[in-house]
Amino acid sequence: MPQPDGSDTVRASGASRQRRPGQVSGLPREASAIDAGAWDSGRSKRPEPWYADGLRFACVRGCTRCCRGFPGDVFVNDEEIAAIAAFLGLPDPEFRDAFLRPAGSGRLSLRDRGDYECVMLEAGGCSIYPVRPRQCRTFPFWPEIIASADAWERQAKTCPGINYGMLYTRKQIEALAGIY
Ligand code: SF4
Ligand code: SF4
């Protein structure tokens, strides 16, 4: 599946790599917390996007399809690493040694298990759900996925939560995608 950086090799919900996370019907929580004040009023000057009327998404409990089954990266930055290490009660260096690997371009990814399952995936879902990386929290509202209706529908074939559940407004979608 496409990656947040536009490349084609990461894992998470679908096609190639970038793992997209989900677990326990999660993204809606983030969406409701978006600060309306952060919205750029200049967006109104842009053409209406194809998703102007909103998009539906709700992670399906117990699915975990985007956390396993194919090679992919789950990128983490220093802030996310610190938060996950603290959540697990591990010193930062110990956490890095045990759970991270180089992912190219100087970035780090959570490790995979042998079958391409994210190392943080457990039987009940994501073991670090409250502090999962942004990549996981913002799926499927990634720029490359909302770039066109076709891209969105292609992703829907791999994620049963797409086109289902909560309606995200254009503002919420673009805030999650980081394109406002
Ligand atoms: S960190 Fe959690 S939500 Fe993200 S890919 Fe791994 S198991 Fe899935
Ligand atoms: S419903 Fe979609 S986002 Fe949720 S775990 Fe399944 S594939 Fe991932």
Where do the domains of the chain lie? 27-35+51-177
| pLDDT of 40 | 52
pLDDT digits (tens, 9 = 90+) for 47-61: 899 999 999 999 998
For the entire predicted model, the pTM comes to 0.79
Rounded CA gap, 99 and 120, in Å? Answer: 9
Which SS3 state, helix, strand or coil, does residue 15 take? Answer: coil
Pocket of ligand 2 (CB under 6 A): 13, 20, 22, 59-60, 63-66, 139, 159-161
Give nearest CA residue, ligand 2 atom 5. Answer: 64
Long-range Cβ pairs for the range 131-134 (8 Å, 24+): 131/80, 131/83, 131/84, 131/86, 131/87, 132/21, 132/23, 132/26, 133/21, 133/74, 133/75, 133/76, 133/80, 133/84, 134/80
Q: Who lines ligand 1 at CB under 6 A? A: 12, 19, 21-23, 67, 74, 110, 118, 120-121, 126, 128, 132, 136
Which ligand does the CA of 62 lie closest to? 2
CA 105–ligand 2 middle distance (angstroms): 27
Q: Find the 177 Cα to ligand 1 centroid distance in Å.
A: 18
Confidence band, pLDDT 50/70/90 cuts, at residue 44 = low
Higher model confidence: residue 162 or residue 40?
A: 162
Which ligand has its closest atom nearest to the C-alpha of 65? 2
pLDDT digits (tens, 9 = 90+) for 90-136: 999 999 999 999 998 899 999 999 889 999 999 989 999 999 999 99
Residue-level pLDDT at 43: 56
User: What is the DSSP annotation of 119-134?
Assistant: TTEETTEETTGGG--H
Atom of ligand 1 nearest to the CA of 129: 2
Cβ-contact 24, 67 below 8 angstroms: no
Q: What value does the mean pLDDT take over residues 69-88? A: 96
